[in-house]
Structure 1
Amino acid sequence: MSDFLTIGEPMALFASQDEDQSLAQSVNFKKYLAGAEVNVAVGVSRLGYSTEYVTQLGADPLGEFIKEQLAVNHIGTSYISQTSKHWTAFQMKQRVTKGDPGVAYFRKNSAASHIDDVAMDQIDLTDVKLVHLTGIFPAISDQAELAFNRLLQLIHRHPEIRTTFDPNLRPQLWRSQAEMVEKINQFAMQADIIMPGLSEGEILVGSREPETIADFYLENGINTDTVIIKMGETGAFIKTKDGNHMMIPGYSVDHVVDTVGAGDGFAVGVITGLLDGMPLENAVRRGNAIGSLAVQAPGDNDGYPTREKLNAYQL
């Protein structure tokens, strides 16, 4: 039983330790746990909530590494299977002093992409309070999309469970941009809370105007009652079904180490704030805080705080 559940593809991340060298030139790497959904699970667990992660790994050294890292981070593995037929995905990430790092993914035909959709029926949602979903997992294969849709069907049988959705667009995983936009919007409109970035809103809705993006989902969503637009250092814009809207300022950061994982950190803040019973604006403020902590540390989730560190940072 857990408070929080997510489904995704965790990966081993080989992060270059050589500053401003291309991945081809780099020779020094450090291994981390990575993946958008697993980043969120790490952050939620670190702030004291029980979590479960749904995926499939290869029966290989990287799969064992990921299982060990999940255990270290107190993330439940009850719904993780392993297979000897397919390998565990991994990625390589450049280390840069400015801008976003170059990232290379090795995930085609991975174990997670062959996950059994029938296995979703074994998931116990009885005590789950919140499920976090992204647009990445259903994009990795047709089989993963089947599993994702089956999980959505099961969640809908529990109206007491809140769902958050982060588009996390990965155009390279889709057959075309048109297919990506259509399917991501279909998934998003089944969530209670949608959290796109400003540039994602431009692709999915055709506008960079936060209120226009929010209105699109609030007017068309099946269950959607809240849209939160991530705007980086500027902060985040919130609009709810009842028409209330506000801008929550962001945090200024003196030195950015790595931007990867900031959006997932934002999701951690919103999710744990809601689980704590905070008003929405305070949960979003926490999201801004954790997102800013994330960019100040290497690794995709190294900067996510404990309760003590978060409380000290927000004072």
Structure 2
Amino acid sequence: MAAKSARLGPIGSLLIGAGSHCITLARVELRQLRYFVTVADELNFGRAAERLRIAGPSLSQQIKALERDLKVQLFDRDRRSVELTPAGSALLPRARALIAQADELRRHALGLSSSDPIRIGYVQWCPTDWAERAAGVAQLRVDTWVMPSHAQAARVADGSLDLAICWVERKDLQALSLDARLVGADRLYAVSAGRDGGPVAARDVTVLLDSDEASWSSWNRYAEQFAAATGARVEHVEDGGVTGSTFYDHVRRLRRPVLNNPKGQNDSTPADLTRRAVQHPTPMWTWSLVWRRDEPNPLVHNVVDALSVGVDDSPVIAPGMWLPADDPHRAVSD
């Protein structure tokens, strides 16, 4: 059998073939190719959907539509695994190339070829696909200096960064002359000793406040407001134990459910401890993309649009969720 090949055809048509047989992508949307590449990268529809910020069923339907248009199967998939087919493997390099060419064409059309990169910083959470989202509008330079939320917001205000993903309140935005859009949110949970994995009422949770305000100013503000609003117990610590292994030591010592810090949102829970949902109400931590209110660079605004488009705020404003009163993403009717 002849080896599979891939080549770029005329007028942007992408051709893949084996011997004398080829497939033309003349009518395939660039968006579908991005979906295909993301699934190929992850080999998991759930993770790919999360990266793309679309619903899993919608992603699956788009891939099936792409396969129908191409008249080939791109993935072998069952309940346990996802693998590229030979046709999918043959198409993948050219799909990547076509996406790169389209992004470069768009940047060139916008006059971005010689533009300075947009500087963006973050605290803990960031979109896994932010480079892909911004590729067509600007180049990103992700700052490796990871700092607390209040510090990153201040760096945007003083011009050290163009954008930052951080936790802020309305008073921060006002004081620093910043604007913000929601780009992510974490549903916080409690960690307790033992095997009881049932939900726990917010009033029965303990929150840790750390004396190191330089590192934990934003968390302390959030936790204090949560405790005041719900009746949760406050425990003061001085060892950075609001997260990490020391946090788990405090959970064992207190023998009470303790609210997790978003910095440890995705940490593995030790075998002797258990995660528990918090309810009545459920604490939500929001991640804002912030930029200077008087920002003159249109590329910064282009990146804001690219990173915030399609963000679903319904989990944040759903009934039973709790946000600080001054959270910029809290429903106006609250």
Q: What TM-score, normalized to structure 2? A: 0.23
Instruction: Pick the structure with greater CA Rg.
Output: 2
Q: What TM-score, normalized to structure 1? A: 0.24
